[in-house]
Amino acid sequence: MAGDPWSRPTLDDLKRVLENIEPSDEQHNREAERIELSVPAEIVTSRGNLISAMTREISRTGIGFMHKGSVSPGDVRVKLASDTREFEYSVRLEWCLPFEGGMFLSGGRFLKKLS
């Protein structure tokens, strides 16, 4: 994982992280089913900093990310793109935890769709 410490994680980085997350018997009391989603994303902080990320999972109420470097919890803008469309959401990032290899996992709740 040499190179730019703020560059977007690769799909191989994401696979390595997901393979190393231990399964948990803990009940999370999630209100919505989550599905795996691995697409490029950009997190724009309230200060205007741009964090390149990959999504890990998504539900109708929230989204999880993997990125290099820590992001402070708070309201952020998230940009996602498909081959034909771009989406922008307001998200309340609720947590950010370090993971091996200089990666961080984070997640939050959707506040509203911006575009």
pLDDT bin (cut points 50, 70, 90) of residue 2 is: very low
For residue 76, the one-letter residue type is V
pLDDT bin (cut points 50, 70, 90) of residue 43 is: very high
Per DSSP bridges, beta strands 50-58 and 40-44 are: antiparallel
What is 1-27 written as a DSSP string?
Answer: --S-TTSPPPHHHHHHHHHHSPP----
Question: Which pTM value belongs to this model?
Answer: 0.72
Taken in order of first residue, the domains within the chain and their CATH numbers are 11-15+34-113 (2.40.10.220)
Contact present, 46 and 76 (Cβ < 8 Å): yes
Q: If DSSP states are collapsed to H, E and C, what string results for 26-55?
A: CCCCCCCCCEECCCEEEEECCCCCEEEEEE
Euclidean distance between CA atoms 39 and 10, whole angstroms: 10
Q: Which residues pair with residue 77 across a beta bridge?
A: 44, 90
Give me the mean pLDDT over the 60-83 stretch. 91
Give me the mean pLDDT over the 20-41 stretch. 65
Output the pLDDT for position 63.
95
